[in-house]
Amino acid sequence: MVTILVTGGAGFIGSHFVEHYLREHSDDTVVTLDKLTYAGNLANLFSLQGNPRHFFYQGDIGDEQLVSDIIRKYEITHIVNFAADTHVDNSIKNPRVFFETNVLGTQVLLDAARAANITRFVHISTDEVYGSLLTGEATEASPLLPNSPYSASKAGADLLVRSYVQTYKFPAIITRSSNNFGPRQFPEKIIPLFIKCLMAGEKVPVYGAGTNVRDWLYVEDNCSGIMHVLEKGTLGETYNIGGGNMLTNIELTRKLLAHFGLDDSFIDFVTDRPAHDQRYAIDCSKIHKLGWTPRHTFVAALTKTIEWYKSHLDWSMSEQRLA
Shortest distance (Å) from residue 156 CB to ligand NAD: 12
| 130 tagged catalytic | no
* Residue 199 to residue 193: CA distance in whole angstroms: 10
- Per CB under 6 A, contacts with ligand NAD among 111-150 are 124, 126
- Per CB under 6 A, contacts with ligand NAD among 17-46 are 33-37, 39-40
Which part of the chain contacts ligand NAD (CB under 6 A), choosing from 55-63, 250-258, 265-273, 311-319? 55-63
Q: Which has the closest alpha carbon to 79: 18, 132, 131?
A: 18
Shortest distance (Å) from residue 27 CB to ligand NAD: 26
* Residue 77 to residue 291: CA distance in whole angstroms: 24
Find the residue with minimal CB distance to ligand NAD.
11
* Residue 27 to residue 23: CA distance in whole angstroms: 10
Considering only 29, 32, 91, 101, the residue that binds ligand NAD (CB under 6 A) is 101
- Does 13 bind ligand NAD (CB under 6 A)? Our answer is yes
Choose the catalytic residue: 34, 127, 137, 277.
127
Which part of the chain contacts ligand NAD (CB under 6 A), choosing from 46-54, 79-87, 205-213, 280-288? 79-87
| 19 tagged catalytic | no
CA 305 and chain centroid, separation:
16
Between the alpha carbon of residue 175 and those of residues 157, 161, 195, the distances in Å are 12, 11, 28
For residues 122 and 197, which CB has a smaller minimum distance to ligand NAD in the complex?
Answer: 122
- Does 224 bind ligand NAD (CB under 6 A)? Our answer is no
Shortest distance (Å) from residue 308 CB to ligand NAD: 15
Binding footprint of ligand NAD, residue count (CB under 6 A): 31
Torsion 105-106-111-117 (CA) sign? positive
- Does 85 bind ligand NAD (CB under 6 A)? Our answer is yes
- The residues near 224 (Cβ < 8 Å, ≥ 6 apart) are 20, 292, 295
Between the alpha carbon of residue 10 and those of residues 42, 106, 166, 297, the distances in Å are 6, 17, 31, 26
- Counts for the chain of helices (H) and strands (E), in that order: 11, 12
For residues 264 and 293, which CB has a smaller minimum distance to ligand NAD in the complex?
Answer: 293
* Residue 246 to residue 162: CA distance in whole angstroms: 29
- Does 62 bind ligand NAD (CB under 6 A)? Our answer is yes
| 128 tagged catalytic | yes
Considering only 6, 80, 83, 133, the residue that binds ligand NAD (CB under 6 A) is 83
* Residue 47 to residue 75: CA distance in whole angstroms: 25
Between the alpha carbon of residue 109 and those of residues 30, 154, 160, 257, the distances in Å are 16, 15, 11, 42
Residues that bind ligand NAD (CB under 6 A): 7-8, 10-14, 33-37, 39-40, 60-62, 82-86, 101, 105, 124, 126, 154, 177, 179-180, 186
Hey, which residues are catalytic here? 127-128, 150
